Amino acid sequence: MVKSKTCVFISGQGSNLKNLIYRSRDKSFPIKISLVISNNKNANGITYAKKFKIPYLFINTKLKNYENKIIQCLKKNKISLICLAGYMKILSDRIVKIYNKKIINIHPSLLPKFKGLNTFEKVLKNKERKTGCTVHYVNSKLDDGNIIIKKAFYISSKDNISTLKQKTQKLEYKAYPEAIIKIFRRY
């Protein structure tokens, strides 16, 4: 099986990156993490790229033409799928067009509810009965692309921002690999 060369974009801890790296080591998993890009040079997730000898790139998104650097790096590494995993920047329309239907994101809510940031606060404030995560295709609108998979759990009266985050992350570690497998079954 020829694995699809994949780039994971991160900004922080990289726990979904770590999970995808481990999953990608399974010979039946359809992707190989071939590149990691971060907009945060202090992102803990970079340690996983180093540990597993995966090329990585820090992108300073404050510089002009940083998009060109991203696109050149993606092309040089023959990337065919992009996974956003806690990447806290919005990709430009140009990158989204070039990689149309080849960019997926994991979001910590049951989309279309609670797009953007501070999802756990929004879930609690709105007294939701359940929440979870969604893996979706990326388009030019924030957290708006076609949904690939959702996973949900019921909220307990004892839940707070911290417990919701922990429970959601556990679901994310199942949802992201399942979504990737689902995508490749379509081809």
**Residues labelled catalytic:** 107
Hey, what amino acid is at 158? K
CB 55 within 8 A of CB 67: no
Closest CA to 102 of 79, 81, 87, 73: 81
CB 137 within 8 A of CB 101: yes
- Tokens (6 digits) for 118: 């501070």
> How close are the terminal C-alpha atoms of the chain, in Å?
13
Dist. CA 19–CA 4, nearest whole Å: 17
